[in-house]
Amino acid sequence: MQKILVARPIFADVIERLKQHFEVEWNNGDVLSADELARRLADKDGALTAGDPIGAATLAAAPKLRVVSNMAVGYNNFDMAAFNAANVLGTNTPDVLNESTADFGWALMMAAARRIAESEHWLRAGHWQKWSYDGFLGVDLYGSTLGVIGMGRIGQALARRARGFNMRVVYHNRSRVAPEIEAGLNATYLPKAELLREADHVVLVLPYTAENHHTIGAAELAFMKPTATLTNIARGGIVDDAALAEALREKRIAAAGLDVFEGEPNLNPALLTVPNVVLTPHIASATERTRRAMANLAADNLIAGLGEGPRAGQPPNPINPEVIGRARS
Ligand code: 8YV
């Protein structure tokens, strides 16, 4: 039987599924250090990860490893050049999380715009003595302009929600999406700086790559309206968190909603001291149904990637399909 490592706690019934095909070592505890992960992978044929960094050194220490299945759509934790050089297949879990993640992005955007977290903290702290006409005035979503940066599957799911709020949709993406998709979403392509100038609510839904590092920094924040909100449901590092904290403190933008952070789970401490930001612990895909779907899809990818089950050799979501069938190097 081939050996696999499940590097994180996941649903126990998914572990049972994997046990039908593999000898499973399960880390049902704390996040493994890089050294511990490499040590445990030394004799494994496959691994199921969730954001754990896998690079050249880890692959070199695991000569039998052929498939690493990430329980996430984003795979910036994989060094794909190293995967390709070693002929190791990487897989991810797209699509099953689109709607839950878009719902959450919408919730964060609304919470930021309407100051929900800020006013709730104030109320809990016992400050509510009387109603006041200017208490926690926010900014409207209805009839405003939504700016989506990253018009992939989740970005499109967000844009579809804008219809019910009678919003104009502008977007920026590496390349323009197909005209029929633009037409279906009633979305207009804009260069990034123009989008930032025009949008009332900017939402980031792009993958993290070296080129997307600090897509939003001090210069970009300066383009935004003082009444605008910024929501990041993509990845830490896409926003310069220090520059954002400063812009929020100085009210150069109205508010922000952040589910992902540079260096998470450690946050830039400045973010914890500004009131006009809603902070959540990377939970945009966290519904019972979606996380189960992600875990099962990650298992499907690993099972098929390692040549088991009805789809042997044809995993549903290969990131680098060109290495399938090649000998490990
Ligand atoms: C994951 C995510 O839960 O899919 C992604 O890219 O950010 C989340 O849905 C998280 O990355 C854990 O792997």
Q: CA dihedral defined by 266, 253, 280, 75, rounded to 10 degrees?
A: -70
150 lies in a domain? yes
131 and 272 share a domain? yes
Residue 250 known to be catalytic: no
Residue whose CA is closest, atom 8 of ligand 1? 72
Q: Are residues 250 and 314 in the same domain?
A: no
> Are residues 271 and 296 located together in one domain of the fold?
no
CA of 249 to the centre of ligand 1 (A): 29
Residue in 280, 282, 283 to alter for ligand 1 test, most ligand atoms within 8 A of Cβ: 282
Q: What is the domain count for the chain?
A: 2
Tell me, what's the pLDDT at 98?
98
Which CATH number fits the domain that encloses residue 248? 3.40.50.720
Q: What is the mean pLDDT of the chain?
A: 98
- Ligand 1 interacting residues, C-beta cut-off 6 A: 50-51, 71-74, 97, 285
Whether 164 and 244 map to the same domain: the answer is yes
235 among known catalytic residues: yes
252 and 136 within one domain: yes
Residue of 17, 172, 235, 291 marked active site: 235
Q: Is residue 328 part of a domain?
A: no
Q: Is residue 79 assigned to a domain?
A: yes
Q: Given the CA of residue 283, which atom of ligand 1 is nearest to it?
A: 3
pLDDT, residue 83, reads: 98
Within this chain, do residues 127 and 269 fall inside the same structural domain, yes or no?
Answer: yes
- Which atom of ligand 1 is found nearest the CA of 72? 4
Residues 257 and 152 in one domain: yes
pLDDT at 115: 98
Among candidate residues 161, 249, 252, 282, the one labeled active-site is 282
Same domain, 211 and 110: yes
Residue 11 belongs to some domain of the structure: yes
Select from 86, 65, 43, 88 the least CA-distant residue to 329: 86
Residues of the chain with pLDDT under 50: none
183 belongs to a structural domain: yes
Give the domain extent around 214. Answer: 98-279
Ligand 1 center to residue 234 CA distance, Å? 9
Residue reference for tokens 């999380």: 97
Please report whether residue 156 resides in a domain: yes
The DSSP string of 113-163 is HTTHHHHHHHHHTT---S--TTTT-----TTSEEEEE--SHHHHHHHHHGG
Assess if residue 302 is contained within a domain.
yes
CA distance 96 to 195: 28
In a domain, 233, yes or no: yes
Same domain, 33 and 106: no
| Integer Cα distance of 206 and 248 in angstroms | 22
Closest ligand 1 atom to 51 CA:
13
Interatomic CA distance for residues 34 and 52, integer angstroms: 8
Do 162 and 304 reside in the same domain of the chain? no
The pLDDT of residue 294: 98
Please tell me the pTM assigned to this model.
0.97
Tens digit of pLDDT for each residue in 16-34?
999 999 999 999 999 999 9
Nearest ligand 1 atom to the CA of 93 is: 4
Distance 260 CA to ligand 1 centre (A): 10
Active-site hit among 25, 194, 246, 264: 264
121 is catalytic: no
Residues 122 and 266 in one domain: yes
Res 23: pLDDT? 98
pLDDT for res 145: 98
Asked whether residue 273 falls in the same domain as residue 299, the answer is no
Strand ranges for 178-271 from DSSP E: 187-189, 201-204, 229-232, 255-258
Q: To which H or E segment does residue 2 belong? A: strand 2-6
Determine which residue's CA is closest to atom 4 belonging to ligand 1.
72
pLDDT at 64: 98
Dist. CA 290 → ligand 1 center (Å): 11
CB 20 within 8 A of CB 64: no
